[in-house]
Structure 1
């Protein structure tokens, strides 16, 4: 295969390509004429979506962020222009039951990687660090921006805050080009059903198709700033095209409750008002500590990077419901119903 450098192709390494963001980011980079390499800890379970991408300039490699030496060998061998760190524990709920794994994958391994990059003089590599709105925790400041104090309440939030602080230190003290994206909740049909948004749209689709009779959730009052993952990876890429690395909040500036999400999903599934008939709550699904509301201020990102979302809340839910109905119809040999999601 031809050397991408000889073909004047930029090379990008995505650490953790098998998730939702990895797919959308790889798709964007390939569209922008990159040579893309992605790592995964589960090489045998590469998704059909990833396999559908342009394989000529895309490859998937087994690697684990916790194996610092292995990651460094990969970086020195492949010499990527850009590295996007999307790997690690991504579920807040999971982090409560797996504290040590969360801290190791999301914080300690990342800090070791920063240290090694600095020691090896690899400051020219542009590095994207996935930070999170969960770092703000139970903040009293609304909306939150890049200077809002961090007050995480979950193991996931703590791990992201540690890595975020480390990124700032290595950027300022060691001259590494590290841009940190403080991303708020971003969803898509690629989300696993372990996440509440996809659980909702998948549940609404199942009820509409007669495959289920109820949707069981925990806290319906929690409010989040939800956007489309495809829009948010565009912001990630734009951060590494900037002349100077910095922290950037990526959000919509709007907030909706879990119940709002349910009502909207039922509407597009052709079940208006279905929450009163099909929705159940279970206290066992509540988190040990719950953040009531998070909403971001993306004005710096919009002004500096000229980034703007293209998918609003209603269209996001509609897109996810339509995808789930289509998928379930294929899996179960059902005829696609005429519902608002397809209008």
Structure 2
């Protein structure tokens, strides 16, 4: 049994025969409790048929554990079953490393049709596991590197960027996009500066338009200077995630539309599983990019499947 990317493994069916279901007790023991604790192995039984759920507690960990199930009833009869669980098996998937950058590009899925808009936010945030003390910054500079063949730069925006306030109100904050493929940012203040926090604040937003359809758009931070010169960085990878292929089978089908509708019906996207066999939290269904998963998204996915005009293709 393999679990990829630390997702829960749900609806594992098994059967217990020759036991009194009315007095049935099931216990589970995992040999690697850091990977999968006993508390994260749960059961639900109806008659002799049971369903098990596994939720690994690993954080980007590739490992395995041996799980033993013991079912007993009041007569003393018992049954045992042992199996191995692999998490993030290298042959089945890959692990996504946690954030390490303090200055980072907050990336995510985007539309990739020609003419689609892509917003690139730059965030200052201390990762939760980082115990380094970062002093307030009073001057800094860095470049944003992008492919001018794939993306057309429109403008930048700091209206909702709290990290820029100290520099704009009590110093300088300049953005130079005169060179194709490079955006240069320079800032300084005579005030108290900006102190990074674990809650984080946005520094600036860059707005682009798609020139060329691609599976991924890479945005890089380069030539860092000033008070942030030694800060860890995270570059941006904006993937074509809003293409309607919710279950990742490389096809747009009615099942994808159904999963989008299931997330809408979950009233907040809190369901633990969908027809696509992934929890609502992982369903990327906002294909019309209006900030919510709605029946309009499911309708758009169905139109894509039917090869009719649809929001995914910008039609």
TM-score by shorter chain over 0.5: no
**TM bucket, shorter chain:** under 0.3
Of Structure 1 and Structure 2, the greater strand share is in 2
Larger radius of gyration: 2
Structure-2-length-normalised TM-score: 0.23
